[in-house]
Structure 1
């Protein structure tokens, strides 16, 4: 049985997928989050299936059967398992056997993810232990999270009923790890009951306080003394028996490629794929100019797969590679390929919201059916300064109303629209750096003419 260590390793691998542009969205979501630790069925099946081509081809048998029943659209929208008007309802509102998909009232068919079976991907936990619960915040909404756990004696081969579930925790308006639109999440610490063993199911019901819309996530867990390891992904059939002990003598493999984002004159954010084997630390090595200077060390159990490099020098070229280390045996993996970047000078280092200078906007209506339309927008920074965090504003002229948007975070008041960057596309390099987003809207109309990037007017094409 292959074990992936902790939710951070999973999140790191998924961050690579999103940063690499693999999160395509053929039916853009209006929906807004799912549990990522312990991972929900729809999240793990997306993670199991996402490929370099952008296709979703899961290897887990439960995920394969779900795709055979309802296609891949629900997985492209794994954060979209919702009921638009449930208003917090439980017994009497959501029927037994349909709890995991909220009664099939949302825009995507998540009904196969109710299937009672023992081969869903699962997270290995220790009964009575405390963990940080993480719930994706694809869009931000105030509200509370009700956490349920199946009771002692639960049969995973029977349809899930409300009588199976015990409410073990409620969290109101928890903090967020970062902004919406990506793989950031709400988080809170919570202890699981000590009287559980074997296979169980955790159900999280996210109830908005600003809308009757609710969200649903079912996460398969096994209480076997684990510490957040995951089985049932990447070709592993997911043995439902006790988890294998971690082999601390296993040498680490080369981590996944390093990705750079949010570069300022003195800092940069890095993420990379998790290493297999036993890892006690990751080292971030600057290889620019033939150097092999270790700029940062990331430790933990397991170590995170992202960090912020600080105390960098302005107007300096860097090339960062990552290697994994096992301090138990002294084994060190090979370095990844280096990710190059250059820090701007102090004068060229704008803060979030700082005016951008020259900019161009390409506004393309790709489909118009009279009562609505789909548009793709590309904003390009033509100034001599890099942009760290962008906001594009404009005014509609014909009563258009955005109903779904992807690759950005939208806000609309009447005819006034604002779209801010997602977590992975906030950096626009000088002299040609660009970002794109798309949306669906009601009504039709001409191309807006008053686009502004961080408050500075843009030309329109």
Structure 2
């Protein structure tokens, strides 16, 4: 699965140099490449060696005939410069995949409700590395939605069909912009899905109001990332039996998250070159293998000592030959002490912002950044505050589980980011509504793990 996604992207961007030759503008910024978005896989299906477009997929061919070539040559440009994180009430039902049709290129045809779009085959309940091309790099948040069980793909996609299943802020990437690099993070998909569904990815920039949109057609049928419906159906072909002469490429940088007293979650970028059958997580000082995988770019380390600093690096393997790659640079993390679970914070600071939107300007999107200014980490963090003006929150938010009881709003740590280290920050957000248009009194009485914050 990982090699397929990377090879498709290489094919796509290998032809990108032709874009300037045919006079098209490559001015925008990224799209989901695994699971492949409609605009991305249609470009892969359509582009020829000469740079001309000749899609074999019927849905892709109809989208080209309806909207023209700009959405193909600028497949990474499905955007709204004024999106500002807005969803229901701003982007109409039936136009979700094209972001409400407010962008510089015509992606409206990619919102068509039909069952013959290129499809990625997945297993319900499994964890996959999502990949979003960074044609241009921007800080921000990725929200991942999956259609609910019982969704009818022959009907227009509406907000009531979608469930938010994952959100991540500023994930790592495999390298700089303008090529075949991408942001990556792991997503565990719902276990109750069967048949055809849509994965909708919403990229919300934090440095501007610009947003990006991707719809990926998937089938929950026990697959492992195979792609069908494009020229050659690469997902249906048998993989090569072996690649005995290829040296495994070096993985992308490793990082640690969800750190506890005795464990940590480590993930890294997939190797882009050579033949890779698995990965090893190493102690770079001794070369000892701490954990191994059979191709997954993530692992949970367990049995660690509390209050201890660890250095880890990652190398890839070609088990057909026994060859291993050079190890990545090491990343360092420190496990919590046994008594860090209580979450006693000595001090904290909060930055809160909100932007109004929607009919009558009662809707708003809020962003909250909390910095632990104490000398100790806060495990299993939670943030609470009071809304004094009758504001309501659309649960559950993103990058935290946000709930409301009366005037009190509480944000609990997501499973992928449970600890706020001393001097570090967490950011979460949510949509909501005010009691009356234009009235949004500032929230009060912020706390981090029960300790008062400066706001």
TM-score bracket, shorter-length normalisation: 0.5 to 0.7
* C-alpha contact 2:45 2:231 (8 A) present in aligned 1: yes
The correspondence for 2:247, drawn from 279, 293, 296, is: 296
Following superposition of structure 1 onto structure 2, how do residues 45-444 of structure 1 map, counting pairs within 5 Å? 45-234=42-231, 276-283=237-244, 294=245, 296-297=247-248, 306-307=273-274
Moved over 3 A (4+): 19-23, 297-300
1:14 shift after superposition? 3.4
Change (3 A) 1:202 1:295: closer
* 1:361-385 Cα distance to aligned partner (Å, 9 max, x none): xxxxxxxxxxxxxxxxxxxxxxxxx
- How far apart, in 1, do the equivalents of 2:15 and 2:26 lie? 19
- TM normalised by structure 2 equals 0.53
* 1:433-459 Cα distance to aligned partner (Å, 9 max, x none): xxxxxxxxxxxxxxxxxxxxxxxxxxx
Q: How big is the alpha-carbon RMSD for the aligned residues of Structure 1 and Structure 2?
A: 2.8
Q: Tell me, what secondary structure is at the counterpart of 2:100?
A: coil
Matched, 1:15 2:19: no
Greater RCO (Cα-Cα under 8 Å, separation 6 or more): 1
Give the structure 2 partner of residue 28 of structure 1: 25
- Give ranges in structure 2 of 5+ residues lacking alignment: 252-269, 277-317, 322-455
1:100 shift after superposition? 0.5
* 1:371-419 Cα distance to aligned partner (Å, 9 max, x none): xxxxxxxxxxxxxxxxxxxxxxxxxxxxxxxxxxxxxxxxxxxxxxxxx
* C-alpha contact 1:49 1:59 (8 A) present in aligned 2: yes
- How far apart, in 2, do the equivalents of 1:177 and 1:120 lie? 28
- Give ranges in structure 1 of 5+ residues lacking alignment: 1-5, 247-275, 284-293, 310-324, 331-461
* C-alpha contact 2:124 2:190 (8 A) present in aligned 1: yes
- How far apart, in 2, do the equivalents of 1:67 and 1:176 lie? 30
- Give the number of aligned pairs: 260
- How far apart, in 1, do the equivalents of 2:213 and 2:120 lie? 18
Which is further off, 7-16 or 147-156?
7-16
Give the structure 2 partner of residue 358 of structure 1: none
- TM normalised by structure 1 equals 0.53
- How far apart, in 2, do the equivalents of 1:39 and 1:23 lie? 22
Change (3 A) 1:22 1:55: farther
